[in-house]
């Protein structure tokens, strides 16, 4: 196991990316920082730039405009990084699949950019904070 992976398992710095979401998942992500869930005690920290991130927390369906920027964000995130697709929209566009402005699903676009992308799916609408934490912990234990 590379030292990077070891560092990843010790504490995870995450960058939140909204690709066209209704904000429910985004708010539950912010909830993770609040006293009841308090993910900082697990070493999970929200950072302000993808350049410092070990993982991306992605929400939203992947609108056409947002995908343009997502490509840049992903390329700026140091590899290896884990992309957590939070919520039904991120996992596969869900009820918005017929939208003319929806370019997703995000995992398809991600694999086109990087066939070796590490992707974790956390379904739910929105996934409860417990589900998000469980998703992050399970993924990190598995890699």
Partner 1 sequence: MKETVRKPVLAIGPFHPLQEEMEFFQLTVDGETVTDIDMRISYNHRGIERISETLQFDQVPYLVSRVCGICSASHPLAYVQAVEDIAGVTPPERALYVRVIINELERIHSHMLWVGLAGHFIGYDTVFMWAWKYREPVLDLLEEISGNRNQYGNVKVGGCREDIPDETIPKILKELDKLDKKTEMLTKAVLDDPVIHARLKGVGVLTKEAAIKYAVTGPTARGSDVKIDVRRDDPYAAYADLDWNVVTQPVGDVFAKAVVRLLEVLESVKIIKQAVKKLPKGPIATEVKEIPPGEGCGRAEAPRGETFHYVRSDGGNRPVRHKIRAPSYVNVPSFKATCIGQHIADVTITLAAVDPCYSCTERLAVVDSHNKVLHDYQTLLRLSREKTARIKKEIGTPEMKLEDF
Partner 2 sequence: MNQQELKDRLAEIKDKLIDIQQPLDDRIFLSCEAENAYAINKFLFEEVPLRFVITTGIDSDSCYEILYHYAYDQIGYIITLKAFIRDRENPSIESIAPFLPGAEWIEREIHDLLGIEFRNHPNMRRLILADDWPEGVYPLRKETRQ
Binding to partner 2 (CB under 8 A) within 59-118 occurs at 63-65, 68, 100-101
> Which entry of partner 2, partner 1, none binds 42, CB below 5 to 8 A by partner kind?
none
135 contributes a contact to partner 1 by CB under 8 A: no
Which residues lie closer than 8 Å to 135 by C-beta, 6 or more apart? 84, 86, 120, 121, 122, 127
Position among 4, 52, 111, 128 found at the interface with partner 1 (CB under 8 A) = 128
Write out the binding residues for partner 1, residues 32-91 only, by CB under 8 A: 34-36, 48-50, 60-61, 63-66, 68-69, 72-73, 76
Q: Where are the alpha helices (DSSP H) in the chain?
A: 3-10, 24-31, 64-76, 87-92, 106-113, 129-142
Tell me, what DSSP letter sits at residue 129? H
Q: How far is the CB of 28 from partner 2 (least distance, A)?
A: 26
Integer Cα distance of 61 and 54 in angstroms: 22
* Cβ-contact 92, 52 below 8 angstroms: no
Q: 73 vs 120, which CB is nearer to partner 1?
A: 73
List residues binding partner 2 (CB under 8 A): 63-65, 68, 100-101
């Amino acid at each position: 196991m590379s030292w990077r992976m070891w560092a990843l398992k010790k504490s995870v710095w995450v960058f939140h990316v909204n690709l066209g979401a209704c904000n429910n998942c985004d708010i539950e992500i912010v909830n993770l920082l609040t006293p009841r869930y308090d993910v900082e005690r697990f070493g999970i920290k929200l950072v302000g730039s993808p350049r410092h991130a070990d993982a991306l927390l992605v929400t939203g369906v992947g609108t056409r405009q947002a995908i343009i920027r997502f490509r840049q964000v992903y390329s700026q995130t140091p590899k290896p990084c884990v992309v957590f697709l939070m919520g039904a929209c991120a996992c596969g566009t869900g009820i918005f699949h017929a939208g003319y402005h929806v370019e997703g699903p995000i995992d398809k676009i991600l694999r086109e950019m990087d066939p070796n992308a590490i992707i974790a799916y956390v379904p739910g609408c929105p996934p409860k904070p417990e589900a998000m934490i469980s998703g992050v912990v399970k993924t990190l234990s598995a890699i």
